[in-house]
Amino acid sequence: MARARSSFVCADCGAVSAKWEGRCAQCGAWNTLQEVVETARTDRHRFAPLAAVTPVQRLADIEAREQVRTPTGLDEFDRVLGGGLVSGAVILIGGDPGIGKSTLLLQTLASLSTRVPVLYVTGEESAEQVALRARRLGVAGDAVDVLAEIRLEQITQAVLEHKPAVAVIDSIQTLYSGELTAAPGSVSQVRECAAQLTRIAKQTGVTLVLIGHVTKDGALAGPRVLEHMVDTVLYFEGDTHSSFRLVRAIKNRFGAVNELGVFAMTDRGLRGVNNPSALFLAGHARRVAGACVMATQEGTRPLLVEIQALVDASHAPNPRRLSVGLEGSRLAMLLAVLHRHAGVASHDQDVFVNAVGGVRITEPAADLPVALAILSSMRNQALPEGLLAFGEVGLAGEVRPAPRGQERLREAAKLGFKRAVIPRANQPRQPVEGLLIHPVDRIEDALAVLSHSDTC
């Protein structure tokens, strides 16, 4: 009889603890530790190496073939994937409920099915529901195989029998392996199922797409180990209330990260948006205080996003700092820099910042536009017409350059922007047509643009 050992794994961060605790010592989340029973395995063949013989080789002698990619036929999805699906790759795609994961993957499979065999495994919806959705989407389903199943063993058998080139598992949290007693969706089940499926993908060359649920705060439910196990991690972003959806690559062993695919949800499913740069501008009828447009670079594409700030007198002992779509810790840092280096005090003010359209901006180049929007709101004075900004702000108050400044400026000029407040190091050698550049070295220089808004 195999000896069972149990450990406790945090469902948020994947940290392992020997005993149960109310709070994860690693990430500080409450009540996330789940028991994982590990049985010492006797069936060692399951962990046999992938190839029969694996000799030690010189790196230079290893024959490296260019990965063959199968384009999905959805241009924006191919863009995030790095050109298409790679045989044997495992892709994890996460996102809020109802954001369009099942829709996107069903469309993808329908498009692929004219060229390669595909399999859609659904554990969330019945086969009829999937068929109904396909009808609504108007996609041809005559070559899409559907399996409504949650038992891992049955699914792996179907994959081995039908030999699809691409299989979608909707979703990994619904699967369960009969070898474990834990409930579907628990850490041990998700881990075991993902590991088994990954193994099948590597062995047979089937491209696997695992759909994953996310927790309240947007992280993939189930342990972080899932992200380490797979080749590519994609996240759906966007506001479910607006029709735009973004798919971002967080990790990609076969392409660039931070590449962004932009879609619009229509009544016939998701449609790619080829030219999204002006999508995230609020389009005010006239200039308003507290808004600053930033040029951000997402993967290979510049994107213009409006940053909004609201600064208001606080009546609480601890003024609120809230950021939506931007990093909260950078906001706190920026307020300190503004106070220390530019004399802008906000200790008795609530500060809210927001990136329009549900887009998430992680690059530090958002600092300068956030600072400008905050000051603009504080003074209740709109920024000059047609102004945009980007640049990282350091703790010493210096403004640091952002990568690929030229491309950002060109895109802004194309969309009719007239002024740009940018780090001096990003100043282009040749002037950009139609764009007046204000190169700045320090945060206080940038804020001066607002004070002299009538003269510049």
173 is a contact residue toward ligand TYD (CB under 6 A): no
**Contact with Mg ion (CB under 5 A) among 102, 174, 346, 349:** 102
269 is a contact residue toward ligand TYD (CB under 6 A): yes
Looking at beta carbons only, is 101 or 330 nearer to ligand TYD? 101
Site string for Mg ion, 137-176 (x = CB under 5 A): ----------------------------------------
Looking at beta carbons only, is 97 or 317 nearer to ligand TYD? 97
265 is a contact residue toward ligand TYD (CB under 6 A): yes
Q: Which stretch binds Mg ion (CB under 5 A): 94-102, 144-152, 217-225, 273-281?
A: 94-102
Site residue total, ligand TYD (CB under 6 A) = 15
97 is a contact residue toward ligand TYD (CB under 6 A): yes
| Shortest reach from residue 421's CB to ligand TYD, in Å | 38
Reduced 3-state DSSP string for the chain = CCCEEEEEEECCCCCEECCCCCECCCCCCECCEEEEEEECCCCHHHHCCCCCCCCCCCHHHCCCCCCCEECCCCHHHHHHHCCCEECCCEEEEEECCCCCHHHHHHHHHHHHCCCCCEEEEECCCCHHHHHHHHHHHCCCCCCEEEEECCEHHHHHHHHHHHCCCEEEEECHHHCECCCCCCCCCCHHHHHHHHHHHHHHHHHHCCEEEEEEEECCCCCECCCCHHHHHCCEEEEEECCCCCCEEEEEEEEECCCCCCCEEEEEEECCEEEECCCCCCCECCCCCCCCCCEEEEEEEECCEEEEEEEEEEEEECCCCCCCEEEECCCHHHHHHHHHHHHHHHCCCCCCEEEEEEEHHHCCCCCHHHHHHHHHHHHHHHCCCCCCCCEEECCEECCCCEEECCCCHHHHHHHHHHCCCCEEEEEHHHCCCCCCCCCEEEEECEHHHHHHHHHCCCCC
CB 237 within 8 A of CB 362: no
Residues in region 71-90 near ligand TYD by CB under 6 A = none
The torsion of the CA quartet 281, 282, 283, 284, rounded to 10 degrees, works out to: -140
**Contact with ligand TYD (CB under 6 A) among 98, 205, 218, 434:** 98
Looking at beta carbons only, is 217 or 267 nearer to ligand TYD? 267
246 is a contact residue toward ligand TYD (CB under 6 A): no
Looking at beta carbons only, is 101 or 341 nearer to ligand TYD? 101
- CA quadruple 40, 157, 71, 219: dihedral sign: negative
- Residue 34's DSSP bridge partners are 9
CB 364 within 8 A of CB 392: yes
Phi, psi of 295 (to 5 degrees): -100, 115
| Exposure of 188 in the CB half-sphere (CA atoms within 13 A) | 18
Looking at beta carbons only, is 55 or 97 nearer to ligand TYD? 97
100 binds, among Mg ion, ligand TYD, none (CB under 5 to 8 A by kind): ligand TYD
Residues in region 125-154 near ligand TYD by CB under 6 A = 133, 136-137
Q: Which stretch binds Mg ion (CB under 5 A): 14-22, 102-110, 226-234, 317-325?
A: 102-110
Looking at beta carbons only, is 100 or 357 nearer to ligand TYD? 100
**Contact with ligand TYD (CB under 6 A) among 95, 141, 255, 423:** 95
268 is a contact residue toward ligand TYD (CB under 6 A): yes
Looking at beta carbons only, is 34 or 102 nearer to Mg ion? 102
135 binds, among ligand TYD, Mg ion, none (CB under 5 to 8 A by kind): none
238 is a contact residue toward ligand TYD (CB under 6 A): no
Q: Which stretch binds ligand TYD (CB under 6 A): 81-89, 266-274, 305-313, 331-339?
A: 266-274
Distance between CA atoms of residues 138 and 269, nearest Å: 9
Looking at beta carbons only, is 93 or 335 nearer to ligand TYD? 93
- Residue 39's DSSP bridge partners are 4
Tell me the residue nearest to Mg ion as measured from the CB. 102
267 is a contact residue toward ligand TYD (CB under 6 A): yes
Looking at beta carbons only, is 172 or 388 nearer to Mg ion? 172
Looking at beta carbons only, is 98 or 328 nearer to ligand TYD? 98
Looking at beta carbons only, is 222 or 423 nearer to ligand TYD? 222
Tokens read off for 181 = 């007693």
261 is a contact residue toward ligand TYD (CB under 6 A): no
102 is a contact residue toward ligand TYD (CB under 6 A): yes
Q: Using CB under 6 A as the criterion, which residues of the chain lie in contact with ligand TYD when the complex forms?
A: 95, 97-103, 133, 136-137, 265, 267-269
Q: Using CB under 5 A as the criterion, which residues of the chain lie in contact with Mg ion when the complex forms?
A: 102
